[in-house]
Amino acid sequence: MAVEVCVKAAVGAPDVLGDCPFSQRVLLTLEEKKVTYKKHLINVSDKPKWFLEVNPEGKVPVINFGDKWIPDSDVIVGIIEEKYPNPSLIAPPEFASVGSKIFPTFVSFLKSKDSSDGTEQALLDELKALEEHLKAHGPYANGQNVCSVDMSLAPKLYHLEVALGHFKKWSVPESLSHVRNYMKLLFERESFQKTKAEEKYVIAGWAPKV
């Protein structure tokens, strides 16, 4: 029985993979573990009836290992790790929260209309913390091999790069060389290339919120 996973379709292109970083995190985890899966693209503005029947909350991603549909990317990647332990993507507990505040600070800065409200500095502080961690433990969050922290951060950093580049002409400072190298390494991985949304769909996804 193949694993089935429902993920967001692109805005305005229901047959193309969409821009949900939590959906991509699940797909990345499946790809890195070489798990065979069937992907259903869900148009979130016109959800199919069957999808709402099996998943009344209507959120993506959801996954089915053969018996029931399970929501929540945190829960999903935990179950994938249990069912498919090799290669292990388990991060040491002390690294589990590395970079965890980057996404909310990025969103605040992206939506900000006031350049002096501190949102840019808050994001820079989080990126500097990641820089220090990578300097000590890199090139990935847990050294030489990717782990669950990277699977979570990669899509979020991609959104940060694309959306801030487009809407604010902003990019990660050159001084944060370990972060920039980390992003390059993640974005070049085959698993990432196979599961990323096109830049135009990332931009389309953020446009209504900016």
Identified catalytic residue from 5, 11, 20, 102: 20
Provide the 8-state DSSP code for 76: H
Active site residue 20: yes
SS3 content of the chain, % helix, strand, coil (to 5): 55, 15, 35
Rounded to whole angstroms, how far apart are CA atoms 106 and 120? 8
Q: 196: left (phi > 0), else alpha (psi -120 to 50), else beta?
A: beta
- The sign one gets for the Cα dihedral 99, 105, 109, 110 is positive
Q: Which positions are annotated as active-site residues?
A: 20
